[in-house]
Amino acid sequence: MAYETLIVDVEDHVCVIKLNRPEALNALNKQLLEELAEALEDSQKNDKVRCIVLTGSEKAFAAGADIKMMQEKSFSEVFLEDMFTSESERIGRIRKPIIAAVSGYALGGGCELAMMCDFIICSDTAKFGQPEINLGVSAGLGGTQRLTRYVGKSKAMEMNLTGRLMEADEAERCGLVSRVVPVKKLLDEALSAALKISEKSMLTTMAVKEMVNRAHEMPLAEGLRFERRIFHSLFSTEDQKEGMAAFSEKRDAQFRDK
Ligand code: DAK
């Protein structure tokens, strides 16, 4: 499938999706988000793909939603068209793991898109922020909600109220990103994490993604019960037998997603 705003490449069980609107620092518009939702759904259906890496350019992962596209819109237009709702919900329904590889600006909707992924590896040049307040609006794709859960109220409030950008080292310190790597190694590091994930049982991988995400959605007691029940159910899989046999026999496991 050919896209105008994305470059998509599948190799070694990993689908790399590169946002590709360089003239606008990968600003997110309807076309880009629709194409992204479609590319992710294709990856979900494609048995060859076991992990997805979402990335941008060295200068910008994405500098936010497209301001020029939004500038003249009225309340009734954005409300009635329910701007970005279906695209973001489609992205949120992907069950395979998605790693965001972020270099340069991840601002507004760009920061929110990175936070929709399962974890973020960023380069030492990355800058995160929710500067919508400077435009007279607020975040609208999770910048007041997910960011608060990632970094706590104080930093999220400061970033949303002042528009201050956060550099990579601060993002790592406060848990927004899992790791910071040199900019030239960003894609290699993200691919190597993706390849590691690709070697696991897809059943377990998808279950674990769902379990960790529940931590944000459920009270602790419910989350722990959910985790325990899924853990129990994984004993019904051939992959559990294979993984534990491989350990005992001192060999690599050959998972079959069964
Ligand atoms: N939208 C449109 N164009 C953008 C853009 C953006 N967000 N960011 C950059 N560009 C364009 C610039 O206009 C420029 O285009 P030309 O002038 O060359 O035609 C080109 O990209 C290069 O940008 P600059 O010349 O500005 O590059 P600099 O290196 O000087 O500065 C910068 C880089 C990232 C600091 C600067 O471009 C900047 O401040 N950009 C805007 C950042 C921003 O405010 N982002 C938040 C956008 S608002 C919604 C949910 C969420 C949202 C909306 C709706 N719903 C649920 C409905 C999200 C809103 C946002 O993200």
Q: CB-based contacts of 233: which residues, under 8 Å, 6+ apart?
A: 207
Alpha helices in 16-145 (DSSP H): 30-45, 67-70, 75-81, 85-92, 109-116
Is the beta carbon of 143 within 6 A of some atom in ligand 1?
A: no
Average predicted confidence (pLDDT) for the chain: 97
Mutate to test the pocket of ligand 1, among 20, 25, 134 (most ligand atoms within 8 A of CB): 25
Q: Which protein residue's CA is at the shortest distance from atom 6 of ligand 1?
A: 66
Ligand 1 atom with the shortest distance to the CA of 108 = 61
Cβ pair 112, 160 in contact under 8 A: no
Residue type, 54: L
Q: How is the beta sheet containing 127-129 ordered, strand by strand?
A: 60-62, 105-107, 127-129, 166-167
Is the beta carbon of 83 within 6 A of some atom in ligand 1?
A: yes
Is the beta carbon of 33 within 6 A of some atom in ligand 1?
A: no
Ligand 1 atom with the shortest distance to the CA of 78 = 57
First CA to last CA across the chain, in angstroms?
29
- At 205-249, the pLDDT tens digits run 999 999 999 998 999 999 999 999 999 999 999 999 999 999 999
**Residue at token pair 């899924």:** 230
Residue 1 pLDDT > 90:
no
Q: Which residues are catalytic?
A: 65, 109, 112, 132
Cβ pair 35, 4 in contact under 8 A: yes
What the block records as the tokens of 146 is: 């997910």
Residue type, 176: L
- At 87-102, the pLDDT tens digits run 999 999 999 999 999 9
Is the beta carbon of 16 within 6 A of some atom in ligand 1?
A: no
Q: How far is the CA of 237 from the centre of ligand 1 (A)?
A: 47
- Residue 258, classed as helix, strand or coil, is coil
Residue 44 burial (C-beta neighbours within 10 Å; 0-12, 13-18, 19+): middle
Is the beta carbon of 106 within 6 A of some atom in ligand 1?
A: no
Query: Rounded to whole angstroms, how far apart are CA atoms 206 and 164?
Result: 35
Question: 36 falls in which pLDDT band (50, 70, 90)?
Answer: very high
Cut 0.85: pTM above it: yes
Ligand 1 atom with the shortest distance to the CA of 83 = 57
Residue 186 pLDDT > 80:
yes
